[in-house]
Structure 1
Amino acid sequence: MTPASATPGLRRRLTSGQLAMIAIGGAIGTGLFLGSGLAIGLAGPAVLVSYAIGGVIALLLMGCLAEMTVAHPTSGSFGDLAELYLGSWAGFVVRYAYWSALVLAVGTELTAVAIYMQFWLPAAQGWIWMLVFGAALMLVNAASVGLFGRTEYVFSAIKIAAILGFLLLGSLVVARAPAGSPIGLVNYVSHGGFFPHGLSGLWSAVIVSIFSYLGIEMIAVAAGEAVDPERAIVRAFRATMLRLAIFYLGTLALMLAIVPWDDAGTASSPFVAVMLAIGIPGGAGLLNAVVLIAAVSAMNSQLYTATRMLFSLARARQAPRRLGQVSAAGVPLMALLVSALGIAPATLLYVYQPQRAFGMMIGISAFGAMFAWMMIFLTHLAFRARADARERPFRMWGYPWTSVAGTMAMAAILLTTPFTGPFASTLLYGVPFLLLLSLSYAWVRRPGPAEPSAE
């Protein structure tokens, strides 16, 4: 079986290393460098447990995606697979829900860019930086997938080097802190205990952690442009999860040991706060440059993935045909332009609500991605029930229980968002949007001339 929307026109130029970097580029961005401050404020030191829970869910998702993507390496990825194994309605709503999440996430990253730029130029208008950086990344994505892959590789390499440096420096600071100093493991329990906000705070931070991990699924979308998809996908999935586990939990553990959790926030990156606390000359400015690059990198990956998802919709005859056309360089330019629409609401929100803009953008952008994650687990259940049982290069362990656990976890996260401050608007936006998608699907599928066959 093959998904309906194959991807003619796109070019296979991405290596396994670039695939892994694309996923890291999406998953290590504002969610870690700025969103972690929000999560720490919700859970305190227990945020380590929250991110561990989120990491387990992400690991299960990656396993399910790896198995399915090796069998079906298309640019439509889990949207195509949902259509194939769950039905046309599922394929339609998953693609559009995830696309909308990415479009809004681009705006979230731009909001972070405006916050980071205030470190150097506090008097400058943030919306100007949002437009400048947004336009620059559109040009990178419009050039060619090869340029995108190389750019994202460099961006992600800078982030990885910075995080490794942070881990080394933070470890030395904690290890050499004299007895009785405000730095050390005592910070885990000295400001209200390990669970200062109880289990509710821990669970709220789990939701933030899921938002932070969003982006790992981008490997599956990029598989349609991988040089050797079968080998590259499995290698990239394994490398990504190992790196994310070390980077997220390691940096959070050191951050909490150096700076008291109640000093975290979203006015600036908590990583920058750590460098200020350590007191290295120029260190805070250097790290602020790194977190700025991280936001640009994540936005780069999100814009790429949103473009390919919309391209997939057009090729499946569920979006205007022009969005399925590619340039001479093999780039879906019209899909790129439409996928950049998230820049507008984020800029307007920042202009009128600069203090609340970041949290509000997280809340509304999270629904589509969380819904897509839940549907990926459901799709994997159907895939294993119907797919060819012959030996595949990668098989998800623990089936069906791991897929069932992932589905239930994502359903619980979505249903509890109304009871968490930062995500109170998630379902308020998501449920009407899902209803609108269902009505749109009914309109697209209305009786009429016979549908053309898939390309």
Structure 2
Amino acid sequence: MEQPTELRRELKTRQLTMIAMGCAIGTGLFLGSGLAIGLAGPSVLISYAVGAFIVLLLMGCLAEMTVAHPTSGSFGTIAERYISPYAGFLVRYSYWIANVLAIGVEVSAIAIYMKYWFPDVPGVVWILVFAAALIYINATTVNTFATFEYWFSVIKISAILLFILLGAYLVIGSPSPEIGPQNFTNDGGFMPFGFSGLWIAIFISLFSFLGTELIAVTAGEAKDPDVAVPKALKATVFRLSTFYVITIALMLMIVPWQQAGGVDQSPFVKVMEMLSIPYAGGIMNFIILTAALSAMNSQLYASTRMMYSLSKATYAPKVFGRLNRKGVPLFALALSTLGIFLAAIISSQSSVSYPFMMGISMFGAIFTWFMIFISHLYFRKAWEREGGRTLPVRMMGYPYLTSLGALLLFALVLTTWFTDFQIVLKFGVPWLVFLSIAYFFWKRAHPEQPQTAEKRKLN
């Protein structure tokens, strides 16, 4: 059997949708929502709605560009062509590090979930056990990965739908004065921490949506990207927005927001335990564990493919662009497990690994999203000027909505400096400086960059 040189196009529309859903419905909803509630109180509902609006704008830009250029490098490749090679370098490496660190966030959360059943077992044990299993899954064919991700996502989505039905039944049918819409205004009102709390919770909500852009990365292995990518993007944004807002609204009507906040335990588990449903807490904890494994699985895939793309563009050593006989870039996969070991080290030393890992992973993600908006501004002008084909999907409201999305992200990141999430900029600014220096040396070593296979696809 010959060694493949290009990724195989085997992923179907339903698999693309479930992969993106799997990446996005992880600790951001099940554990991170508790952190957001603690910051904003009931007004967290507006925070998630605004976060969903930003993601909707992002997906509109991304769908148009991805259909035009369905490659594994995705938005990194597009930034390289339409802005500059320097921009493509920054975007690809920032997205790679964001996913590598997000893997650490998910696996840190797994350690928290397992304490529900095994409080005396060190979290580092669970980090290493589950990491080994998911590395094995990602080392097999892309179809094996997609199959696992599909069923992981089915479990999560089914659980969320069940939670919505159960929550709605309790809110409508419960005679208890402690359950109902009045919880939105009790204990400090709808905005107990004012606009500042609502604003910072938007930033947390964006972490919950991190992963929706993964569809663009999977386009390099999609069977029919013109059809599959737009359908998957639309379905993902609609489902995520609906799930997040409805589930959090029901949660806040059932449990006072002070009890739902925090990251010591998932607020979903707290709801089930307070309702005294037999074994419901344990069952929900298992489902949430599955959600974290699913998100970690998807992020491992995303970081592996982005490192593969970096290698193909000569921005990383050639070894990371090599595929095994099953079409998997194993060396890129091995490098992308760094976040797991970082999480293991932090978990063994600190009890605040989840907020810390989330903070440092967010800069790369938000910077990537910001650059997607900027790339779209350049892309649309160039596409029309060069007489590109009529695309099956176009971003509405260009250039105003594209610019609005970029402005909102920029403002959110700047304001983190005045909050407990200073780590975002403390990590992010030095990271961009480091990448800029690295690009300078790369440029000196490659004065005449060769026309790579991935670039030829763009022309």
TM-score tier after normalising by the smaller chain length: over 0.9
Counterparts of 1:44-443 in structure 2, within 5 Å, are 44-178=41-175, 181-263=177-259, 264-354=261-351, 356-387=352-383, 388=387, 390-421=389-420, 423-443=421-441
Contact 2:322 2:330 in 1 (8 A): yes
Amino acid at match of 1:42: L
Contact 1:68 1:380 in 2 (8 A): yes
Matched residues in 1 for 2:63 and 2:165: separation? 32
Matched residues in 1 for 2:447 and 2:186: separation? 69
* Distance apart, 1:448 and its partner CA: 5.8
Matched residues in 1 for 2:19 and 2:47: separation? 24
* Distance apart, 1:389 and its partner CA: 5.0
Cα 1:228–1:8, aligned 2, differ >3 Å: closer, same or farther? farther
Matched residues in 2 for 1:43 and 1:119: separation? 26
Q: Which residue of 2 is the match for residue 3 of structure 1?
A: none
Deviation per CA, 1:33-92, whole angstroms, max 9, x where unpaired? Answer: 000000000000000000000000000000100000001000100000000101000000
Deviation per CA, 1:415-436, whole angstroms, max 9, x where unpaired? Answer: 1111221x22100000001000
Amino acid at match of 1:261: W
Contact 2:5 2:323 in 1 (8 A): no
Contact 2:320 2:331 in 1 (8 A): yes
Contact 1:117 1:129 in 2 (8 A): yes
* Distance apart, 1:452 and its partner CA: 2.9
Query: Tell me, which stretches of 5 or more residues in structure 1 are unaligned?
Result: 1-6
* Distance apart, 1:451 and its partner CA: 3.2
Deviation per CA, 1:149-193, whole angstroms, max 9, x where unpaired? Answer: 000000001000000000000000111111x52111111111110
Contact 1:46 1:194 in 2 (8 A): yes
Amino acid at match of 1:150: T
Matched residues in 1 for 2:374 and 2:397: separation? 15
Deviation per CA, 1:210-236, whole angstroms, max 9, x where unpaired? Answer: 111111000000000001111000110
1:430 match: secondary structure: helix
1:70 match: secondary structure: helix
Matched residues in 2 for 1:47 and 1:9: separation? 44
* Distance apart, 1:450 and its partner CA: 3.9
How high is the TM-score relative to the length of structure 2? 0.96
Contact 1:66 1:220 in 2 (8 A): yes
Matched residues in 2 for 1:123 and 1:449: separation? 56
Contact 1:313 1:319 in 2 (8 A): yes
Matched residues in 1 for 2:114 and 2:46: separation? 31
Matched residues in 2 for 1:390 and 1:448: separation? 33
Matched residues in 1 for 2:447 and 2:305: separation? 28
1:182 match: secondary structure: coil
Contact 2:5 2:322 in 1 (8 A): no
Query: Tell me, which stretches of 5 or more residues in structure 2 are unaligned?
Result: 454-459
Matched residues in 2 for 1:266 and 1:286: separation? 19
* Distance apart, 1:447 and its partner CA: 5.4
Aligned length: 446
Cα 1:330–1:197, aligned 2, differ >3 Å: closer, same or farther? same
What is the percentage of aligned positions where both structures have the same residue? 53
Amino acid at match of 2:452: A
Amino acid at match of 2:407: M
Q: Which residue of 2 is the match for residue 12 of structure 1?
A: 9
Q: Which residue of 1 is the match for residue 452 of structure 2?
A: 454
Q: Bigger CA drift: 438-447 or 315-324? A: 438-447
Amino acid at match of 2:382: R
How high is the TM-score relative to the length of structure 1? 0.97
Q: Which residue of 1 is the match for residue 443 of structure 2?
A: 445
1:190 match: secondary structure: coil
1:319 match: secondary structure: coil
Amino acid at match of 1:400: P
Matched residues in 1 for 2:92 and 2:389: separation? 29
Amino acid at match of 2:392: P
Q: Bigger CA drift: 430-439 or 444-453? A: 444-453
Contact 1:258 1:277 in 2 (8 A): no
Amino acid at match of 1:296: L
Deviation per CA, 1:89-108, whole angstroms, max 9, x where unpaired? Answer: 00000000110010000000
Q: Where does structure 1 differ by over 3 angstroms across 4 or more consecutive aligned residues?
A: 447-451
1:267 match: secondary structure: coil
Matched residues in 2 for 1:297 and 1:79: separation? 24
Please report the RMSD computed on the Cα atoms of aligned residues, expressed in angstroms. 1.1
Contact 1:14 1:149 in 2 (8 A): yes
* Distance apart, 1:246 and its partner CA: 1.1
Amino acid at match of 2:336: S
